[in-house]
Amino acid sequence: MGHSPDSVIVVGGGIAGLATALRLAPLPVTLVVMAPLGAEAATGWAQGGIAAAIGAGDDAEFHARDTLAAGAGLSEADVARNVAGAAGEAIDWLVGLGTPFDRAPDGSLALGLEAAHSRRRIVHAAGDGTGRVVLETLVAAARACPSLRVIEGQRAITLLKDATGRVAGIAVQDREGRLGTLSGRAVVLATGGLGGLYGSTTNPLGATGSGLALAARAGAVLRDMEFVQFHPTAIAVGADPMPLATEALRGEGAKLFNERGERFMSEVPGQELAPRDVVARAIFREIAAGRRVVLDARMDGVEERFRGVVALCRANGLDPLRAPIPVRPAAHYHMGGIRVDGAGRASVPGLWACGEVASTGLHGANRLASNSLLEALAYAQWIAADIGGEDARPGRPDGAVMPVRPSPARAEIRALMDAKVGVVREAGLLDAAVARLGMLAASGEDDLALVAWLVADAARRREESRGGHFRADHPLPAETARHGQTTLDERFGNAAGIRQVA
């Protein structure tokens, strides 16, 4: 099937892009992905699973309450309820596509427990291999879908608009630098997160927020860009990106120690299962004081339940059955993103966003574990219904297309984000980050610098501590919880020479 100008363009081949593309069938869809399909997507690396309030004694209302508690005042109640309520159908849909989820002896879906969930509700596959299994299932379904054309090895570099200002296509660039354009009736960005902007990250290195740069340059409203979740227990073996020791290990009893053998979480409410940001800061403080931190996972059943983690450790020369795992916090998930409404629509006509790149109002200031795969599945369906119900006839996309070069400052940006916009932030560090990243971004086309600057600028302006954002100089939450919104024009203006789409 060739690309037709009536197609919907979906950018990204993780759970968000693939689920949206499949839900849009039989509408023609062109899915554009910069890597080979199935590779370099965070989705494939998900270990814990998908949160779904489907067990006996559980309810979408309980799930929504847990989500709101984690979100620290910025999760929206109606969004949390709608997403929690969509879980049953989403899991059935994945089962219908052939996803081999783990099952209990009676044949029902096996449900795991994770921190801050009040019930067992984590649907998983192949133990801790959920992401890989789900991604393989979705890729197979996409390859078999007659209305879906997949273009691999092409990076979306610009959103193109028609004369009315509606997004009507994208410009793409292949690995050799060749440019092309695609027009479409709608564009859905599903480009994932931005952990790759940090030197210490669990994300694929290509996860540098490229969809955020595309949307920002097209004038879309971005929200809560400062809220980055740092996973407390990335495995510190010098690998880049860092392998993850899933939270479920602590759920099953693994304990944290510093190099003096002290269990430094023992006095903290919730201990090792305190919220992620609390555990991440406690580990950060130990490391800042010069003490290494390890996770002792020498427990019965580890090899069977956590095959993936054990394999990751062994591939890096560690045997978690014999010795504790060295760990450190790492950038893991971006709660902020392109502001969307209940149908996944961004503030610019013709543009939708799904998955980690979007800010739906679900996660607020902190994401509840295993809610992101669910969010992508729920919004994929709502976006497909919204686009399918719209009689859109955009005009010809217009605008000059310039090639994009890899950021020359990538290593500097990653080190700077770790040091100045990391787990513990304060005005002096953030001022320096904003100034330097602003200079790098103002030099023109550097998407990495632009997105990093947007995060640092938002972190500088949020003078409180809330969820994943901790300010040593403002350690308490403000009385009222407020979202932070921004557009590129409002914050940077054109004077700085930042490329924008008219």
Ligand X SMILES: Cc1cc2nc3c(=O)[nH]c(=O)nc-3n(C[C@H](O)[C@H](O)[C@H](O)COP(=O)(O)OP(=O)(O)OC[C@H]3O[C@@H](n4cnc5c(N)ncnc54)[C@H](O)[C@@H]3O)c2cc1C
In the complex, the residues that contact ligand X under the rule CB under 6 A are 11-17, 32-35, 40-43, 45-50, 130-131, 155-156, 190-193, 202-203, 206-207, 210-211, 244, 332-333, 355-357, 370-373, 376
Cβ-based burial of 469 (10 A; exposed 0-12, middle 13-18, buried ≥19): buried
**Kindly report the CA angle at 391 between 385 and 394, in degrees rounded to 5?**
115
374 touches 339 (CB < 8 A):
no
Q: Quick one: tokens of 253?
A: 């009893």
CB of 146 to ligand X, least distance (A): 22
Tokens 């513990």 appear where? Answer: 424
Give 368 or 409: the residue with its C-beta nearer to ligand X: 368
Which residue, 383, 388, 378, 387, is CA-closest to 341? Answer: 383
Cβ-based burial of 56 (10 A; exposed 0-12, middle 13-18, buried ≥19): exposed
**Where would I find the H helices in 6-153?**
15-24, 60-70, 77-85, 87-96, 130-143
Give 110 or 427: the residue with its C-beta nearer to ligand X: 110
Q: State CA 139 to chain mean position distance.
A: 19
Cβ-based burial of 278 (10 A; exposed 0-12, middle 13-18, buried ≥19): middle
SS3 339: strand
- C-alpha distances (whole Å) from 184 to each of 4, 30, 162, 235, 391 are 7, 9, 11, 42, 13
- Tell me the CB-side half-sphere exposure of residue 307, using CA atoms within 13 A: 9
Bridge-based pairing of strands 293-296 and 255-258 is antiparallel
Which residues, other chains included, contact 236 with Cβ-Cβ below 8 Å and sequence gap of 6+? 242, 292, 326, 327, 328
**Rounded-to-integer distance, Cα 412 and Cα 285, Å:** 24
193 touches 239 (CB < 8 A):
no
Chain residue whose CB lies nearest ligand X: 14
203 touches 210 (CB < 8 A):
no
CB of 259 to ligand X, least distance (A): 25
Among left, alpha and beta (phi > 0; psi -120 to 50; other), residue 499 is: beta
Phi and psi at 58, nearest 5°, equal: -110, 165
CB of 190 to ligand X, least distance (A): 5
SS3 2: coil
Q: How many CB atoms lie within 10 A of CB 267?
A: 8
Q: Quick one: tokens of 186?
A: 């709608």
Q: Catalytic site residue 276?
A: yes
Task: Check residue 337 and report its DSSP letter.
Answer: E
Of 276, 339, 466, 471, catalytic: 276
**Rounded-to-integer distance, Cα 305 and Cα 246, Å:** 11
Catalytic site residues?
276
